[in-house]
Each structure stands twice: as structure tokens, then as C-alpha cells.
Amino acid sequence: MDCPRVQEILSAAADARLVPADELAEAQTHCDTCERCATFAHGLGLLSSVSAPAAPAGLIDSILERVASEEMPLRAEAPMDGALLEDKILPHRPRAFGQRDVRASWWAPRLTVFATAAVFMLAAFTLTAIGYFGGFRQLLPQKATEPVSTSDQEIADERELAGTQDADTATMSAPIAEAPAYISVNGRVFLPEGATSLDDSGLTTIGPVAGRTQEDTTAPVHAYDSGAGDGSIVVHESGADWIVYQPVVRGFAGSLYQLHTRSPITVPGQWPDLPAAYPTPTEANGSPTFRFFGYDDLGVMIFVPAAGSERDGFAVAPETPPDDPAAGSPNWTWWAPLP
Amino acid sequence: MVGKAIGDSELVGAAIGGDERAFSALVRRHADAVYGHALRFFGDKNAAEDASQEVFLKVFRSLATFDYRSSFSTWLYRVTRNVCLDMTRRGARQPLPVDPVDLSPIPIADFSDSVATRDALEHAMQALSPEDRAALDAVTLFDLTYEQAAQALGIPQGTVKSRVFRARRLLISLLFPIEPAEGGA
């Protein structure tokens, strides 16, 4: 038995790993005659006896004070009274779908669409009647999907849309909320961080910013590697400074993954969508496109391609929590390893 | 993290049910591990405190979604690691640069001085690669098994084992240097 093997056995034994007794005995015997390994064994013992850094006095109180100012996000029931038991024993329920009962999925989207259409009809009628409609529209941000209908024809179109679309698709394409100020470059999604000044000599081109052209020509606006090594890019906005854009990322299993989109983001407020290779799932469990893989740190469900690995990327269902990087997205989102 | 009278699962269940003392117990039980990992990650006490606060706030906010598919420690370690990475990415905090000169061995002369011993160990920790340190922290600070650490880090168990071993070997070589000698057969 050589020294590296002896030390590996001793290290594993220190972690209470099951080590064959004869191998451990042989390693210990080896230490009797090998100063290097004896020192290693001695060092292991000392390392395990050294206490880890202790949280400073006051930190725990400070944490608890901050927590006390927040409302406890309780389950609907006390865990051992049913909810926890149900989660443990029954097949998994899709939490990313707002804890709703999957049995309600056939009627809930339809109800949502009809209710939304009714609200828009009422709002449009009221605003038109009091003569403020034109002015109000000017105050609305330009969006990819216009939630306010302006005519009877548009209202009729919206009603037709609600009545003919597949339930899940209708829910996803409904004008739920406006997306953040995303831009996309080569299918990768970014958010603006702020202006910066830089020496633009030697910048490396990443690709054209989707839907963006020079102010006085049809030449595309290009994005460049910021050089920060964190996946961020810089874009020279016409008549302005360089703007830094950070990739939209989420952490999973110790790695970072960036939000991608199939459709170039050409209009403010547009939500990213799934790559062409992955059709929108028809079921809450991700099938037939994806299969459930696990949860990320905040309990969001992670789905991987039915015949793929999470290393290539993963999908997240709509209706993620408010602090999620894809919060508000009505679409399934795709996350690929950060380049 | 030894001799837990009440298991983490029970405390999590009670905390989800609204028992503030249970959540407080979870914080007190795991604060050292979270702070210790953050301190080694950033090399700065203030950053470690900020990260610790953010970790437990995230845990509090998402505790109701904890589903027991992994141990609480595994989940907590992943949250801690991701908070540190996210803080770095947001530019909120950056790991302090380590001067290679500072990584020269600091042998422990007096093992009876526990403070000096701990300081020397923490100093030597900065010589580890982030990957090796992350694996070692998972196993020693958060008390994870190799299997749990592999799950949390998204790497094979064998890789966890080799990283932990490599980390210990470097630490020991820094803290307990010996004259070069031929290894045994």
C-alpha cells in the first residue's frame, strides 16, 4: 500500500466513511513506519479538533430581528396535520404552478381567459365612453402583447382567441404582465445594469442585439464582451454611454445558468420562450417535452429534456415565486450553462 | 452539529407551522456553518455577515417550499453557496484577492493555543482552490455525507472524495510541514 492510498483511506475514515477494516488496519500499520503518513494521520486528528469559525455575537440576533419583521410564509395547513404528509406520500404536485390542484387545470385557464377578456371589455367601454381613451393609451408602455382592446373588432378577436386556443397555451400567451427590459443576443437574455465608460479598442463582438439597428442606418447594433469575465456584455446606445448588460441567471447545483429565448426579443416587454427544439409542454409535469428532475435552492421545479441531462440546460415552468429570476413569465423558460 | 436533540426535519416542520422558536433554533444550530463558509468564500467578515443574513432570509421565505427530498443541511448548503455566488455576480461583494505571499506555510507551533490554531487553519484555507474548499466545507462545516455533498454540488461522489482528500492533504502540508522523504512501499 503506497502513501497516497494510505492517506486517502485515513481521510475517508475521518469522515465516517465505511472503509474495509483490513485496509484501515494496513494503513495504520503503514503509519508506524512512514513519517509522512504518520504526520498526515496526526494532522487529520488536529484538523478535526479545530473548531470552525463561529458566527460573531449579535449576528444571530440580527438575523432573527430581520426575520421577525417578515410574515411567515405558512403552508395552508400545519405540516404534520396533512400538507406535509401529503407532500411526502402522494405523487408530487407541481408547486411551480401556484400549488393549484392539477384536477382544476382544465377549467382554470379558461376561466382566467374569459375573466380577463371581460375585464378588458369593460375597461375599454368605460374609457371610451368618458373620452379619455386616447390620452390614456399614450401613457401605456409599448408592449409585445397589447392587453387593451381598442375596438369592437379587437374585442371580438380577443374573445375568439380565448375561445379557440388550447387551455394551457391560452394561459401562457395571455397578457399577464410586462417582461423586464430584456434584450437578447444570439438567443441569450440580458438585463441592463447601468452606464459605464470604457476604452472600446479591442472589444470582442458577441453578436447583434436583436431588433436593434443604428439610428441612421440599417446596420445592427452589436454587443461586446465586457471583459469582466462574468458573462456581462456592453452595448453602445446611440447618443449615450456604453450600457452594461448582465446575463439573467439562476443558480442550480452550484452552477449558474443563463436564460435563453428562441424568439429574438425585439419589443420591450416581450417574454423569452423555449428553444425550437423544445415544444411547450402540454402537461404540468413537463411531458412530453421534459421530465421532472428536482428542485433548485428555492424549491422551484427543474425540468430536463425527456432524453437529456441537466448539464445541457433545463426548463422552468411558469408562475415562479416573486424573487425568482423568471418571476412573472407566462412562458416556460430555458436555462443553459453560462458560457 | 453533533448531538441534535430534535432533528432538523422536526424543527422545519414546526417552523412551517408558525413556531418562531423552531426557526430560531435552526438559525442558532446552523449559523456557524453558514457564516464559516461565507467567511472562507469572501475572506471578509462583513461580507460573511451580509451573506449569512441573506441566506437565512431566503431560507425563511422559502421554508414552506422545503419538501424533504434532501436533508435540511444539504438544502442550506446549496442556498449558502448560491447566495455567495450571486452576491459575487451582482457585484455586491467580491472575494478578497489573496496575495500568493500570504499562502506560505504557517506551521502551528503551539497546539494548546486554540485561537492561534484556528487562525492558522483559516489562513491556510485560503490556499485551497474554491472547488476543493467548497467540498471540504460541505463535509466538515455542514456535516454532509459524500453523497449529500455530491448532490448539492452536482458532481460525482468520487469527485467529492478526491476534492476533500486533496484539500486536507494541502492543509496538512501547510500546517505540519515535514522534510521531504520517500513514501513507504
Q: How many Cβ atoms sit within 10 Å of the Cβ of residue B174?
A: 22
Answer yes or no: do B69 and A295 touch at CB < 8 A.
yes
Q: How many Cβ atoms sit within 10 Å of the Cβ of residue B46?
A: 9
A12 touches chain B (CB under 8 A): yes
Angstroms from A286 CA to nearest CA on chain B: 19
| Nearest-angstrom CA–CA distance, B167 and A147 | 57
Phi, psi of B167 (to 5 degrees): -65, -45
Pick from A7, A33, A59: CB nearest B35: A59
Give every CB contact of residue A234 below 8 A, 6+ residues apart in sequence: A196, A198, A203, A223, A224, A225, A226, A242, A243, A244, A245
| Nearest-angstrom CA–CA distance, B175 and B184 | 22
C-beta contacts of B79-83 below 8 A and 24+ residues apart: B79/A297, B79/A298, B79/B55, B80/B33, B80/B34, B80/B37, B80/B38, B80/B51, B80/B55, B81/A251, B81/A254, B81/B37, B81/B134, B81/B152, B81/B153, B82/A251, B82/A254, B82/A297, B83/B38, B83/B51, B83/B54, B83/B55, B83/B58
Full DSSP string of A60-123: HHHHHHHHHTS-----SS-GGGTHHHHHHHSPPP-GGGTT--GGGTTTHHHHHHHHHHHHHHHH
A52 touches chain B (CB under 8 A): yes
A17 touches chain B (CB under 8 A): yes
B160 touches chain A (CB under 8 A): no
| The residue type at A187 | G
| Distance (Å) of CA A39 to CA A173, B77, B107 | 66, 31, 13
CB distance A272 to A265 below 8 Å: yes
Angstroms from A141 CA to nearest CA on chain B: 28
Residues B88-140 have pLDDT tens digits of: 877 666 666 555 445 555 555 566 666 777 888 888 888 888 889 999 999 99
CB distance B70 to B151 below 8 Å: yes
Pick from B68, B81, B161: CB nearest A254: B81
Pick from A64, A74, A299: CB nearest B67: A299
Q: Tell me, what DSSP letter sits at residue A247? A: E
Q: Which of residues 100-159 of A touch B (CB under 8 A)?
A: none
- If you compute the radius of gyration of chain B from its CA atoms, what whole number of angstroms results? 18
Answer yes or no: do B152 and A253 touch at CB < 8 A.
yes
Residue that has been written with the C-alpha cell 421565505 in this structure: B61
For residue A54, the chain B residues in CB contact (below 8 A) are 32, 35-36
> Rounded to 5 degrees, what angle do the CA atoms A159, A160, A166 make?
105
- What is the grid cell recorded at A297? 435552492
Pick from B31, B62, B89: CB nearest A249: B89
B71 touches chain A (CB under 8 A): no
B64 touches chain A (CB under 8 A): yes
Average pLDDT of the residues of chain B: 82
Residues A195-233 have pLDDT tens digits of: 777 777 778 888 888 877 776 667 778 898 888 788 889
Give the mutation candidate from A50, A74, A85 for the B interface (greatest B CB count, under 10 A). A50
Does the model's pTM come out above 0.80?
A: no
B117, closest residue in chain A (CA to CA): A50
Pick from B53, B108, B168: CB nearest A63: B53
Q: How many CB pairs under 8 A join A and B?
A: 202
| pLDDT given for residue A156 in this prediction | 41
Q: Provide block-wise average pLDDT over 10 residues at a time, chain B (185 residues).
A: 64 86 92 94 91 93 80 92 85 60 55 73 85 92 90 87 91 75 44
Pick from A50, A55, A59: CB nearest B121: A50
Residue that has been written with the C-alpha cell 482528500 in this structure: B165
Q: What is the pLDDT along chain A (339 residues), one digit of tens a residue?
A: 788 888 888 888 877 666 678 888 888 889 888 888 888 888 888 887 777 788 998 999 999 998 888 765 544 333 333 333 233 322 222 222 223 333 333 334 444 455 555 555 555 555 444 444 433 333 333 333 333 333 344 434 444 433 333 333 333 334 467 788 889 998 999 988 777 777 777 788 888 888 777 766 677 788 988 887 888 898 887 666 778 888 998 877 777 889 999 988 888 778 999 988 888 898 888 888 888 887 776 677 888 888 777 778 899 998 777 777 888 888 999 999 888
A319: helix, coil or strand?
coil
Q: Output the CA torsion A296→A298→A299→A300 (10° steps).
A: -70
For residue B28, the chain A residues in CB contact (below 8 A) are 60
Answer yes or no: do B60 and A70 touch at CB < 8 A.
yes
Answer yes or no: do B153 and A74 touch at CB < 8 A.
no
SS3 content of chain A, % helix, strand, coil (to 5): 35, 20, 45
Give the mutation candidate from B115, B119, B144, B168 for the A interface (greatest A CB count, under 10 A). B168
| The residue type at B163 | R
| pLDDT given for residue A178 in this prediction | 77
| Nearest-angstrom CA–CA distance, B101 and A149 | 68
**Helices B20-42, B130-140: inter-axial angle, 10-degree rounding:** 150
Answer yes or no: do B64 and A74 touch at CB < 8 A.
yes
